[in-house]
Amino acid sequence: MKVDLSESLVRACEDYGRLVVQSYRTGMYSSAVSSRGAEGNVLLQGFSRMAECAVCLWAGLDPLQALKWTMFADPGFDVLAYGARIDVKATGPRGQYLLWPVRKRHLYANKPFDALVLVRGERWKSFELVGWIPKGRFAAMRQEAPAGHVLDPGTWFLHASALWPMESLTWGW
């Protein structure tokens, strides 16, 4: 399922990416859970926000209202849609994995979300909602990247083919 963002929304996401990086620099966010320099990467932070906006648009929500646009961290999920607290995971246009970073593994069990959604993006406008999976099912099915894998060793992941179709998320909780 494809979702395109407007130019104004893309600009808002780019601005938000700068805000997130500033939050890391000022110590509002902890770089202890950041990987691969994400805490200083404005483009990556903006891209992640664009993926969240794509989920909002798919769900019929206004991203400017549905997402938190301040310097403070989210409440443990990105989007509330169809009664589910959704954590959005973004990847590039050829990404095949929904992943949970190794440096955030200790947060997984207590983070208050119900489902993970994988979004593939083509910078900067076109996004594909690949699929979703409930939190508990991801925990039960996930694999752990070994040394030599394309992902960082210890990263939890699931191949995109194991995800549920987005339409089934609309059935509610």
Among 78-87, 120-129, 141-150, name the one with the lowest average pLDDT.
120-129
Quote the CA–CA distance of 72 and 100 in Å, as a whole number. 21
Instruction: Convert the pLDDT of each residue in 132-155 to its tens digit.
Output: 999 999 999 999 999 999 999 999
pTM: 0.90
pLDDT at 75: 79
The residues spanned by each domain of the chain are 2-171
> What is the band of 32 on the pLDDT scale with cuts at 50, 70, 90?
very low
Higher pLDDT, 141 or 26: 141
Name the burial class of residue 116, with classes exposed (0-12), middle (13-18) and buried (19+) by CB atoms within 10 angstroms of its CB. Answer: buried
Quote the CA–CA distance of 148 and 143 in Å, as a whole number. 14
Name the burial class of residue 167, with classes exposed (0-12), middle (13-18) and buried (19+) by CB atoms within 10 angstroms of its CB. Answer: exposed
